[in-house]
Structure 1
């Protein structure tokens, strides 16, 4: 990254995001009806709440992402930790990221095994 770059390694890694309005449109609901408890919700340094686009599939929150959040949230430092984990190369997923694995038809259960192992490690 050059010293004149305005990029942020966190947002570069997590990828494109929706604002609450965009997430609501993706799900076909009002912002007030967003199922936040089932979503990976990130708050930027300037206080904007965003949602990684890769968690939305066919007009819904990917149920595997919901389960990842349920497993990792209690032991993660922040939601950004979960996003960083999911967008890193995962050895158990043949060195794919979670979004790549799921988009490529990989088994959800393999991702969840990895999430449970990570939760156990993070809890120590």
Structure 2
């Protein structure tokens, strides 16, 4: 066996060959998973009592299905370059810095640290009018940006079962901001 990344016992050749065929993201996931296993169960005694195949399927399901569920719920996402092109003027994309510093954009950080922007927040190449006020009404210390994104795209009882995004699209920003403030007060209580 070859010692890999200082891990006790190393990895068998078949595992090394399999790792060599993976993408960078897959390799990083496997390496991090191995580090956690070695850290939390150094001698493998706890893992020996577990159905390893089922545990592996569960871990992958949680990571991949979670991302899929968010996409199903929120719709698509732009990355920074997508937003740069979307907000371009006269065919010239805005800078990455302009995107990251722009107020009124709902930026979500994925589990891998990547920043994405839900597509629902844009209309006609611009952010939805009133979205910046909603973002200010619900500070991140009260609700994560992912939770706020879910609230924006879910039918709200206080809005007669309409989604806040739909009302923003219809020009009823004042109604949505008031509902967001009510929600923030409830969260703070």
The RMSD of aligned alpha carbons is 2.1
Displacement, 1:93? Answer: 2.4
Q: Which of structures 1 and 2 has the bigger CA Rg?
A: 2
Residues 117 and 75 of structure 1: CA distance in aligned 2, closer, same or farther (over 3 Å): farther
Check the 8 A contact 1:18/1:52 in 2, yes or no. yes
Corresponding pairs, count? 121
Displacement, 1:74? Answer: 4.5
Higher RCO (C-alpha under 8 Å, 6+ residues apart): 1
When structure 1 is superposed on structure 2, of 37-46 and 114-123 the one drifting more is: 37-46
In the TM superposition, what whole-angstrom CA distance separates every residue of 1:50-89 from its partner, at most 9, and x where no partner exists? Answer: 0011111222222311111111024433211111111111
TM-score, scaled to structure 1? 0.84
Name structure 1 gaps, 5 residues minimum.
none
Check the 8 A contact 1:92/1:110 in 2, yes or no. no
For residue 117 of structure 2, give the secondary structure of its aligned residue in structure 1.
strand
Structure 2 CA distance, aligned partners of 1:102 and 1:66?
11
Check the 8 A contact 1:75/1:119 in 2, yes or no. no
Structure 2 CA distance, aligned partners of 1:71 and 1:100?
18
Structure with more strand by fraction: 1
Structure with more helix by fraction: 2
Residue in 1 that maps onto 2:181: 116
TM-score, scaled to structure 2? 0.57
Q: Find 1:90's aligned residue among 156, 159, 170.
A: 156
Name structure 2 gaps, 5 residues minimum.
1-57, 89-93
